[in-house]
Amino acid sequence: MLARMHLSGACQMMAHGKPLYAHELALCGLALLANAPQTHACRDLREQLLTLLQEITRERPPRGM
């Protein structure tokens, strides 16, 4: 449910010409992977996105955090 809400919000932002920040793109990727098959490639991509998100938020916390 939360994944769908985040993807919907991202689509609305793009439709209004607003840029998506790196952490928002990483969250969208994680949302898309939530229902993906549990293959080795999907698990690797999920781990890479989580690592990227941790690095981004460590350097500069997203808006509202």
Question: Tens of pLDDT along 44-60?
Answer: 988 888 888 888 777 76
Please state the domain extents for the chain: 2-59
Question: Greatest CA separation found in the chain?
Answer: 36
Residue whose C-alpha is closest to residue 24's, from 35, 13, 36:
13
Cβ contacts of 53 within 8 Å, gap of 6 or more: 23, 26, 27, 30
Tell me the mean pLDDT in the region 2-17. 69
User: Is the confidence at residue 42, as pLDDT, over 80?
Assistant: yes
Confidence of residue 6 (pLDDT cuts 50, 70, 90): low
Which bin fits 32, alpha (ψ -120 to 50), beta or left (φ > 0)?
alpha
Cβ contacts of 1 within 8 Å, gap of 6 or more: none
Q: Of residues 35 and 20, which shows the higher confidence score?
A: 35
User: Is the confidence at residue 17, as pLDDT, over 70?
Assistant: yes
